[in-house]
Amino acid sequence: MADNSDREMRLSLVTLVVRITLGMIFIFYGLGKFMMGYSNYAGWMINLFKDTWLPGFALLPFTYALPFIEVGLGVLLLAGILSRWTFVATGLLLAALIFGQVILQKPEVVAQNLVFTILITIGIWASEHDRFSLDHFRKKAG
């Protein structure tokens, strides 16, 4: 049976891999929305949901905030800042995105986002053991 420090290291590595993977995904998806043209992206999103029951007044602020939120969460995950709460916020964002894809009846996108949700759940579970985050180094220095 592995000793406690070996278990801690394995959990640290799990969290590191999950943080880096999800962080890069969210940064690049967020930046991609800016690269397609911020207003082009927003118009595309509004048009995508125009025939659904989702009210435009609810969709508009979400659409305009989404690229900033994705990049911000991605950076926080990559750096390991407030990791557990960043994982939770990322999970809540994914829940909102999944909700939108369910409304659009896009089961393949829902399935893909559920994979990300599983990774986030693993990240939440293992985050207290993350030795490779800025949070850990700040605690160690303080």
- Could you report the per-residue pLDDT of 34-88, keeping only the tens digit for each? 999 988 998 999 999 999 998 888 888 999 999 999 999 999 999 999 999 999 9
Extents of the domains making up the chain: 4-137
Q: What is the pLDDT of residue 137?
A: 81
d(CA 31, CA 142): 34
Q: Which residue reads 């290291």 in tokens?
A: 9
**Between the CA atoms of 3, 119, 131 and 81, what dihedral angle is there, to the nearest 10 degrees?**
-160
Q: How far apart are the first and last CA of the chain?
A: 33
Q: What pLDDT, in 10s, does the model give residues 46-58?
A: 999 999 998 888 8
Percent of the chain with pLDDT over 90: 72
Would you say the pTM of this structure is higher than 0.85?
Answer: yes
How far is residue 44's CA from residue 125's CA, in Å, rounded to a whole number? 36
